[in-house]
Amino acid sequence: MAIKFFKRTLGFYVLLFVLTPGYGQQSEKKSDVLNLKEIKTTLAQDVSFLASDSLNGRALGTVGYDLATDYVIKQFETYGIQPFFKTYNDSFLVNDIKTKNIVGVVKGNDSLLSKEYIVLGAHLDHIGTAKVIGGDSIANGANDNATGVSVVLALAKHFATMKSIKRSLIFVLFGAEESGLVGSKHLANKLKELNTPIYTMLNFEMVGMPMDGKKYVAYLTGYSKSNMAEKLNDYGDKEWIGFLPKAKQYQLFKRSDNYSFYKELEVPSHTLSTFDFSNYDFYHHVDDEADKMNYDFMSDLVELIIPAVTAMANTTENEILLN
């Protein structure tokens, strides 16, 4: 059984490497601004691979999770994202199981502000399997959280081409989020020990579907913990970030990787999400599949995020502050 799974996984991975445009090779020409068609194509390719049956749910300590990390590293290399540490791998243990975060960086160009970092992250792992339905036991984790990973990769692709950002950007895909935010706790503590100046942290979680009947496009968990929502709206010149009461009711602020940075580093740290408890029925479910995601919506969302992050990286003063 294990041999059959390995052969099937390897075959799929090789096929993806050959067929995916730009995968495994440096693109000859980089655009300063990604267009909507490019964004949509990139998002769909990333989610489709990460949420494929061949990765078997990306659980901690599995071949599927290793294939997911290999994929992310290959994309970072293709886009020209440099490792933040000596390599992209930031390894740690979870109950004697070795796993890792993947961490890259785009350095800012300002002599002073480039020493400050904005962390853009999403968790890469998922739960592996779930309740069997129709003979299917693989919890593919498309919305949770291949969508968040795909947004981080789209932002990495964009900002790798930018020559004008002042602050530096750390792009991180976290491991072991589903095991209790272990990967983000590890990295936050490591950055703290290294005295790395972190300005803000913005995490992306479950962004594959538009919100149901809301006037805003997305929300931030821990909305009132800082003025980040207000500033992102200002930077985008549009009221696109809102407050979701259920996010506060269910304490979502403490349930994703942003919380580790808030707790350990005491900096503005939030998760951006569009899951509103009514617009998606397949949380930790075998039907959380790539073909259910709304890639037109996701590409529009990335188009809103890019100018907001650009402004966050370029303000002369630290405008985003804890309340």
272 located within any domain = yes
What is the total residue count of the chain?
A: 323
Give strand pairing partners of 169: 106, 118
322 located within any domain = no
Q: Is 108:310 a contact under the CB 8 Å cutoff?
A: no
| Residues whose CB falls within 8 Å of the CB of residue 97, separated by 6 or more in sequence, listed in order | 60, 61
Nearest-angstrom CA–CA distance, 275 and 283 = 10
Name the pairing type of β-strands 97-106 and 89-94: antiparallel
Nearest-angstrom CA–CA distance, 18 and 2 = 24
CA-based R_g, the chain, Å? 18
State the burial class of residue 4 (Cβ atoms within 10 Å of its Cβ: 0-12, 13-18, 19+).
exposed
Q: Which residues of the chain have pLDDT under 70?
A: 1-34
> What would the pLDDT profile of 134-172 be if each residue is shown by its tens digit?
999 999 999 999 999 999 999 999 999 987 899 999 999
Residue-level pLDDT at 6: 38
**φ/ψ of residue 57, rounded to 5:** 90, 5
Residue ranges making up the domain that contains 231: 2-314
**Using DSSP, how many helices (H) and how many strands (E) does the chain show?**
9, 11
22 alpha-carbon distance from chain centroid: 20
323 located within any domain = no
96 located within any domain = yes
310 located within any domain = yes
Give strand pairing partners of 206: none
169 located within any domain = yes
Residue-level pLDDT at 18: 37
What is the CATH number for 264? Answer: 3.40.630.10
Could you give the residue ranges of the DSSP H alpha helices within 237-274?
245-249, 258-265
Residue-level pLDDT at 163: 79
Q: Is 269:262 a contact under the CB 8 Å cutoff?
A: yes
Residue-level pLDDT at 59: 98
| Residues whose CB falls within 8 Å of the CB of residue 226, separated by 6 or more in sequence, listed in order | 268, 270, 320, 321, 322, 323
Residue-level pLDDT at 15: 41
205 located within any domain = yes
Residue-level pLDDT at 164: 86
Residue-level pLDDT at 34: 58
170 alpha-carbon distance from chain centroid: 11
Structural domain count, the chain? 1
> What would the pLDDT profile of 55-93 be if each residue is shown by its tens digit?
999 999 999 999 999 999 999 999 999 999 999 999 999
320 located within any domain = no
